[in-house]
Amino acid sequence: MISISEQLGVRIRYFRREKKLSQEELAFRANLNVTYLSDLENGRRNPSLKVLNRLANAFNLTLSELFKGIIDINR
């Protein structure tokens, strides 16, 4: 089963591509380092709530929309 971090990374990548943004452009809009964003998309990082909020804002989404469909497999 795919971890929560990996599921979140898939969601971030999905929204980035849907908005036709490069990693560089999204990183700029969310005030993140491109390498950090890449790590998020690949499920290698656990972002803070502040970072998640900046990403949601960059996508013009709510936090709940960003997390929609992510399942906690450890429950």
Confidence (pLDDT) at 75: 59
Q: What's the CA gap between 61 and 8, in Å, rounded?
A: 14
Phi, psi of 32 (to 5 degrees): -125, 160
- Does the structure show a pLDDT above 90 at 25? yes
Confidence (pLDDT) at 72: 74
What CATH number is given to the structural domain containing 20? 1.10.260.40
Confidence (pLDDT) at 69: 87
Confidence (pLDDT) at 60: 98
Tally of domains within the chain: 1
| pLDDT digit string, tens, across residues 29-55 | 999 999 999 999 999 999 999 999 999
Q: Considering the domain boundaries, does residue 72 fall inside one?
A: no
The proportion of the chain whose per-residue pLDDT surpasses 70, expressed as a percent, equals: 96
Q: What's the CA gap between 30 and 56, in Å, rounded?
A: 9
Q: Considering the domain boundaries, does residue 75 fall inside one?
A: no
Q: What's the CA gap between 73 and 2, in Å, rounded?
A: 8
Q: Which domain holds residue 14?
A: 4-67
Q: Considering the domain boundaries, does residue 74 fall inside one?
A: no
